[in-house]
A = this chain, B = another copy of it.
Amino acid sequence: MAAKPDGRPVDTSVLEGLLGYNARRASLAVIGHFLQDMAAFELRPVEFSVLTLIASNPGITARQLCQQLDVLPPNLVGLLNTLEQRALIRREPHPTDKRASALHVADGAQTLVQRAQAQALKSDETALAHLSADERATLMALLKKVYAPQQL
C-alpha cells in the first residue's frame, strides 16, 4: 500500500482546468497518431509540413518556410538537405534573387507527397474518431482562433 495507491486516482482537477495542459496532452496524442501513420513514408511532422508547403507553393523560399512554420533558418538547412538528398525536393536558382533558392517538389516525388497527404487525413480520422463532424469543425475553428485570432 502506498500513500497514493493505484486504487486512489491522482487529483488532476487544477491542471485539467488549464488550457495549456489540455492543449499539450491533445497535441501529444495527435502527434502520436501522426508519427505512427507517417512511419511508412519516413516523414516527421516538420518534414511533412515543408513538403506540403513546397507542393502548394512552387518556388517558395526557405525564408518563407521559416516564417510560416516557426522554424529558425539554421534549423531548416539540414532538413532541406535531407529532403534534397532523398530526391523529394530540388533547389532551383531563384528567378530574381541570387541569394535565395526556389524550392520545388522533385518530379518523381509528387506521388509520394499526395499519398502522404492522404495518409495525414486518415491520421486525423483516427485522432478525431470520438468526435462528430460538427465537433471536428468546431475544434479546428477554435484552435485557429487561439493561434490566429486576428484572421477570424
Give A contacts to B, CB under 8 Å: 1-4, 10-31, 34, 45, 49, 52-53, 55-61, 64, 68, 70, 94-97, 100, 102, 117, 120-121, 123-124, 127-131, 135-136, 138-140, 142-149, 152
CB distance A128 to B102 under 8 Å? no
Partner of A3, one of B4, B17, B59: B59
Given contacts A68-B10, A147-B22, contact A2 B128 (CB under 8 A): no
Partner of A147, one of B29, B94, B142: B29
A41 to chain B, nearest CB (A): 14
Given contacts A10-B53, A45-B24, A124-B18, contact A145 B135 (CB under 8 A): yes
CB distance A127 to B139 under 8 Å? no
In the complex, chain B residues whose CB is within 8 Å of the CB of A102: 3
Report whether over half of chain A's contact residues are helix, strand or loop; otherwise say mixed.
helix
CB distance A15 to B52 under 8 Å? yes
CB distance A53 to B3 under 8 Å? no
CB distance A15 to B131 under 8 Å? no
> In the assembly, what is the distance between CA of A26 and CA of B57, in Å?
23
> In the assembly, what is the distance between CA of A129 and CA of B146, in Å?
8
CB distance A2 to B121 under 8 Å? no
Given contacts A14-B52, A18-B124, A20-B124, contact A28 B147 (CB under 8 A): yes
Q: Which residue of B lies closest to A16 (CB)?
A: B144
In the complex, chain B residues whose CB is within 8 Å of the CB of A139: 19, 139, 142-143, 146
